[in-house]
Amino acid sequence: MTVSSKPASKSFGWSALFNRPAKPYVHPYLGGLILGLVLFLALFLTGNGLGSSGATSRLVTFVQDQIDPAHVDRTPYLLKMAGGDKNPLDDWLVPVFFGALLGGFTSGLIGGRVKLETTKGPHVSDRTRWLLAFLGGVLFLYGARMARGCTSGQALTGGAVLSAGSWTVMLAIFGGAYALAYFVRKLWN
């Protein structure tokens, strides 16, 4: 019986998936062109554009409907999505939402960017960064519902069809972000 001196072959595992060198990002103009083609195909093939915040509302309404269906049936906003026999998950936004999550994860995996990390400035704690990210996300989602669309729905879809309301919302989002950046700049410096 002889023992081989060759090293055992590396098995394909989690570390092979998540500890890969990062590839460069796609050129922004090429990325914009691809996004425009995806939006065009979405409008052409389905008659709907892109969006995400409506799917989040539908997911929350689904949970509410499981816990307290009477509340959903009494609330006009929720009634449109899940009243009576309606299924809130029966909408084109839900698969777009999960497709975006899966596509983003796949892109990160292929590009070698999937890892657990907290990006922040040197003078802020991880806890503060996570708290501010959560609060910012809640405020943005609330604002997206008030504006009847997120940046995907308003900027991409509404902007592509030259909706004046969508352009107004996007100018307000970017203007508000620019004005707020002064107050949170210390989180990054």
34's enclosing H/E stretch is helix 28-46
Buried b (16+ CB within 10 A) or exposed e, 7-25: eeeeeeeeeeeeeeeeeee
Give pLDDT, residue 10. 54
* Per-residue model confidence as pLDDT tens digits over 104-159: 999 998 898 888 888 888 888 899 989 988 998 888 888 887 877 777 788 888 88
Give pLDDT, residue 71. 92
Radius of gyration of the chain (CA): 22
Buried b (16+ CB within 10 A) or exposed e, 130-145: eeeeeeeeeebbeebe
- If phi > 0 it is left, if psi is from -120 to 50 it is alpha, else beta; for residue 70 that is alpha
Confidence class for position 88, pLDDT limits 50, 70, 90: very high
Give pLDDT, residue 158. 87
pLDDT of residue 34 exceeding 70: yes
Is the entire prediction scored with pTM above 0.75? no
Instruction: Please provide the DSSP assignment of 54-118 as one string.
Output: HHHHHHHHHHHHHH-HHHHHH-HHHHHHHSTT--TT-STHHHHHHHHHHHHHHHHHHTT------
Report DSSP state, residue 187: G
